[in-house]
Amino acid sequence: MAQPKCRQIADELRERIVSGALRVGDRLPTEPQLQEQYGVSRNTVRDATALLVHEGLVESVPGRSGGMLVREKVTLTFHAHRAEMPGPTAETDAWRSEVEQQGYEATQEFRLTIEVLPGELAERLKVEPESAAVLRRCVRFVNGQPSSVQDTYYPMDLAEKVPELLSPRDIPQGTTRLLAERGYKQVAYYDEYVSRMPTPEEATLLRLQPGTPVLHYIRTGYTEERPVRVSVTPFAGDRNRIVSTHGDASIIARFRPEEEPR
């Protein structure tokens, strides 16, 4: 068998989706229908649809009127260069206003904990491995659906100098601005982007369908003197896009006016 049956079936269904014969929200044929149509066993049909699910093209909805649905591709755009850069809006509000500007509803859940800093992150902050850090976690929802989790770690010594960092509530003006007011103005950012499959925790937190990767975004912020914080943000890959610009922003604005805030 040059091509396994499950792949042939998947290929035909995929073709129907990308060609537009099946549109977003449409139901694929049910498993019994596909068994009949291709003359294969149920498991083979399931192997085929599993391929499409893991490609992120299709999602399964349980129940009587459920089935395998062609998946929606929403994309919320997150502007890396805009967030937290000097400007009129505070950082958390920056995210909120981005979302609302794009016509969605934004909500957040905040939590503060003290954590032992994983080695990977200690290295970015240039502190001892295993040292303590303040973790400010913000789970961000778009239209009630979890969209990303921003975990920001501050070295413990910084939290002693800026005790508001230990406030277990969202800081209205944004922590970046607060730090700037306290003499810790961030003037450089180191951004990393990775695409990977979610850990089970991430899958739960972001309510990810099987076959959905995360876009992992790590930002390290520096003052003139030192790194002061590292933010680790897994974005649900199927619902987010990160945008960043370099060079003369006014040119971008000319050709992408929709990108301008406000």
Partner DNA sequence: CAGTGGTCTAGACCACGCG
Partner DNA sequence: GCGTGGTCTAGACCACTGG
26 sits near DNA (criterion: CB under 7 A)? no
Nearest partner of 223 among 172, 200, 189, judged by Cα: 189
Nearest to DNA of 30, 113 (CB atom): 30
198 sits near its own copies (criterion: CB under 8 A)? yes
Choice from 80, 139, 159, 180 touching its own copies (CB under 8 A)? 80
Stretch that binds its own copies, among 58-66, 144-152, 161-169, 190-198 (CB under 8 A): 190-198
Can you tell me the distance from the alpha carbon of 163 to that of 154, in angstroms, rounded to the nearest whole number?
A: 11
Structure tokens at 149: 């989790």
Nearest partner of 261 among 139, 113, 131, 101, judged by Cα: 101
67 sits near DNA (criterion: CB under 7 A)? yes
- Which of DNA, its own copies, none lies near 187, with the C-beta cut-off 5 to 8 A by kind? its own copies
Nearest to its own copies of 104, 189 (CB atom): 189
Stretch that binds DNA, among 39-47, 80-88, 176-184, 220-228 (CB under 7 A): 39-47
Can you tell me the distance from the alpha carbon of 141 to that of 207, in angstroms, rounded to the nearest whole number?
A: 11
Structure tokens at 75: 């994309």
Can you tell me the distance from the alpha carbon of 98 to that of 117, in angstroms, rounded to the nearest whole number?
A: 30
Q: How far is the CB of 76 from its own copies (least distance, A)?
A: 11
List binders of its own copies among 200-259 (CB under 8 A).
Answer: 200, 210-217, 222, 224, 226-227, 235, 237-238, 240-249, 251-252, 255-256
164 sits near its own copies (criterion: CB under 8 A)? no
Nearest partner of 212 among 234, 188, 182, 244, judged by Cα: 234
Nearest partner of 145 among 58, 207, 61, judged by Cα: 207
41 sits near DNA (criterion: CB under 7 A)? yes
Can you tell me the distance from the alpha carbon of 59 to that of 226, in angstroms, rounded to the nearest whole number?
A: 45
47 sits near DNA (criterion: CB under 7 A)? yes
- The residue with tokens 């967030």 is 83
CB contact at 8 A, 151 and 219: no
- Chain residues in the site for its own copies (CB under 8 A): 11, 14, 43, 54-56, 75, 80-81, 85, 126, 186-200, 210-217, 222, 224, 226-227, 235, 237-238, 240-249, 251-252, 255-256
The footprint of DNA (CB under 7 A) covers 1, 4-7, 28, 30-33, 39-44, 46-47, 60-68
